[in-house]
Amino acid sequence: MLHLDQLTITQGDFRMTADWKAAKGARIAVIGPSGAGKSTLLSVVGGFFAARSGRVLWDGTDLTQMGAGARPITTVFQDQNLFPHLTIAQNLGLGLSPDLRLTRADHTRIAAALDRVGLSGMGARKPAQLSGGQQSRAALARALLRARPILLLDEPFAALGPALKFEMLELVAGLAEENNTCVLMVTHDPQEARSFAPLTCLVAGGIAHAPQSTQALLDNPPPELAAYLG
């Protein structure tokens, strides 16, 4: 279980609180107005930014003082963060071994992860030799290889067209279900939230609210969400 325990997050004049729990395997959309703090929330959970007070726990283990790499968490940002000078296979290998000393078993796992996202045989290419959608798949394959129980997605597919985006979301949902991964995904798109996430965390008015039913929230949005959805 992911537990955000009385978090207070400040950044300049910005202030936000979060105090809730999410079960293993929960898929949660993070939605709210621009500047409300969605990315900041993910940064705090992922270990890229420290909260002013409160704790982040996973299954009772306090992660608050752990660096991002040590947390049981994988984060995928919008820019995909693939290294341009490395091949796709090496980019994936970084998820297994930061110094790229890969065993034969590692190479087998990398090939299997590429197969899984529909990139069979493309491991030797550089990122620039893949389309935007294929790069997204590669970033997802790397996240998959890390096999951490929490996955944070900050608008990872924003650059993709609608068809490809939904294909990717389906892929993530399937993988998350298989691996019982707890996913927090920032999105601006209510349709995306509905199709991907049974639960939604509304971030608005200085509060990252406890996850609630996506359908109920979007069918009957509170004023701050209604204004944002238009």
Ligand X SMILES: Nc1ncnc2c1ncn2[C@@H]1O[C@H](COP(=O)(O)OP(=O)(O)OP(=O)(O)O)[C@@H](O)[C@H]1O
Q: Enter the tokens of residue 83.
A: 């290294």
DSSP letters for 107-171: HHHHHHHHHHTT-TT-TTS-GGGS-HHHHHHHHHHHHHHHT-SEEEEESTTTTS-HHHHHHHHHH
From the CB of 43, what's the least distance to ligand X, in Å? 7
Which residue, 6 or 11, is less far from ligand X as judged by CB? Answer: 11
220 forms part of the interface with ligand X (CB under 6 A) = no
From the CB of 19, what's the least distance to ligand X, in Å? 18
Q: By rule CB under 6 A, what string of x and - marks binding of each residue 93-132 to ligand X?
A: ----------------------------------------
18 forms part of the interface with ligand X (CB under 6 A) = no
230 forms part of the interface with ligand X (CB under 6 A) = no
Which residue, 14 or 83, is less far from ligand X as judged by CB? Answer: 14
Stretch that binds ligand X, among 31-39, 75-83, 172-180, 211-219 (CB under 6 A): 31-39
Q: Are 181 and 175 in contact (CB under 8 A)?
A: yes
Q: Are 198 and 27 in contact (CB under 8 A)?
A: yes
Q: Which of residues 33-62 bind ligand X (CB under 6 A)?
A: 34-40
C-alpha to C-alpha distance for 91 and 110, rounded to whole angstroms: 10
Q: Which 8-state DSSP code applies to residue 209?
A: P
The residue assigned the tokens 């959970």 is 45
Size of the residue set binding ligand X (CB under 6 A): 12
The 3-state DSSP class for residue 206 equals: coil
Stretch that binds ligand X, among 27-35, 86-94, 111-119, 190-198 (CB under 6 A): 27-35
From the CB of 11, what's the least distance to ligand X, in Å? 4
Q: Enter the tokens of residue 92.
A: 């994936």
Binding site for ligand X (CB under 6 A): 11-12, 14, 32, 34-40, 203
